[in-house]
Structure 1
Amino acid sequence: MLESQVAETTTHVAEPTRRDFLYIATGAAAAVGGATLVWPFVQSLAPDAATVAAGAPVEVDLTPIAEGQIVKVFWRGKLIFVRHRTADEIKAAEDVNVASLRDPQPDSARVKPDHAQWLIVYGNCTHLGCVPLGQQGEYHGWFCPCHGSVFDTSGRVRGGPAPINLPIPPYAFTSDTKIVIGQDEATA
């Protein structure tokens, strides 16, 4: 009789059942799955570092660019050519009969005053966006190897299928040896 009394006075602790395990496993899977689905969405709302930096103006030091050299830089993910033109290239660009051009524009409208030696243009052909080769073609400006567009030393279209001149990005001189691409004269 003593044994039966002892058995009645002890507390009975229930063992976990299979159903309890399934509840816990399902809850954990839902939490992990929910986080896995929600995190990429939340992360996609923030811009990545390249996007944040891409819109920022780019400062270019012109000092190391030799006369006759073309340097490539990127601004907002776009290729920009910075060309240090020689006196002969400037003269050739200025001596063109503007009325004979497909997209008439004088050389003086494509460079900043007192800085004719520096030409800054977008580095993609205006036909289909290929990258033209510098100091090539009949006018020693650029030649697009994709479809044969030819640009002069002022970036003006002179032949081939390109409809317009190489565009000029917004830029400003902060000194005689530095430019900021992505900033125009008004905000400099």
Structure 2
Amino acid sequence: MAETATALPTRRDFLFIATGAVGAVGVAAAVWPFINQMNPDASALALASTEVDISALQPGDTLTVKWRGKPVVVRNRTEAEIDAARNVPLTDLKDPVARNANLQLDAPATDANRAAPGKENWFVMVNVCTHLGCIPLGQQGEFGGWFCPCHGSHYDTAGRIRGGPAPENMAVPVYSFLSDTKIKIG
């Protein structure tokens, strides 16, 4: 049987492989800044979510925090506020949709669908009027919730539009409880 001769790598083969490897690394180094610039910067990542300490809020207290450039209300509702919101028939609501980012888009605007399950006293909402983007005043208006003095929109204690020109309920952002005293918004 005849033996087949295998060619040993030459210096030229090594130079071809080394040149190709250096060229590939050079192309990757040149392209990386273009790929990396598509990632969000630190300021955008910082706005993506925020943690809120709610340990100091007593029933009836409200805390406003900034999230994604908007005011977000965290309210420790009283039993009377929860009862008032629960006892509203859906037929009395101007907007029948919950507008809660934690639920399906077509969830009905019941009080249970606007608050966190098991923590109904804690209410989290983007405090921006859905009419023209004004900032409503808390615990005012005909329904004891929020009132926008700019154009007269009245919201109840669950942030649902009940009177005035605003077309929709105020939005409930994505949020979760990290503990009994801390909420993560976003």
TM over 0.5: yes
Tell me the amino acid that sits aligned with residue 113 of structure 1.
P
Deviation of 1:156 after TM superposition, in Å, equals 0.3
Q: Which residue does 1:26 correspond to in 2?
A: none
Q: Distance in 1 between matches of 2:115 and 2:39?
A: 38
Unaligned runs of 5+ in 1: 1-43, 183-188
Q: Which structure features the higher share of helix residues?
A: 1
Task: Please tell me whether residue 99 in structure 1 is matched to residue 70 in structure 2.
Answer: no
Q: Distance in 2 between matches of 1:171 and 1:45?
A: 27
Query: Highest relative contact order (Cα 8 Å, sep 6+), 1 or 2?
Result: 2
From the CA coordinates, give the structure whose radius of gyration is larger: 1
Q: Which residue does 2:132 correspond to in 1?
A: 128
Q: Distance in 2 between matches of 1:97 and 1:49?
A: 45
Tell me the amino acid that sits aligned with residue 67 of structure 1.
P
Q: Distance in 2 between matches of 1:52 and 1:167?
A: 21
Deviation of 1:67 after TM superposition, in Å, equals 1.2
Q: Which of 149, 155, 163 does residue 159 from structure 1 map onto?
A: 163
Unaligned runs of 5+ in 2: 1-36, 97-108
Task: Please tell me whether residue 172 in structure 1 is matched to residue 176 in structure 2.
Answer: yes
Deviation of 1:50 after TM superposition, in Å, equals 3.5
TM-score by length of 1: 0.69
Tell me the amino acid that sits aligned with residue 144 of structure 1.
C
Task: Please tell me whether residue 76 in structure 1 is matched to residue 68 in structure 2.
Answer: yes
Deviation of 1:158 after TM superposition, in Å, equals 0.4
TM-score by length of 2: 0.70
Q: Equivalent residue of 2:73, what SS?
A: strand
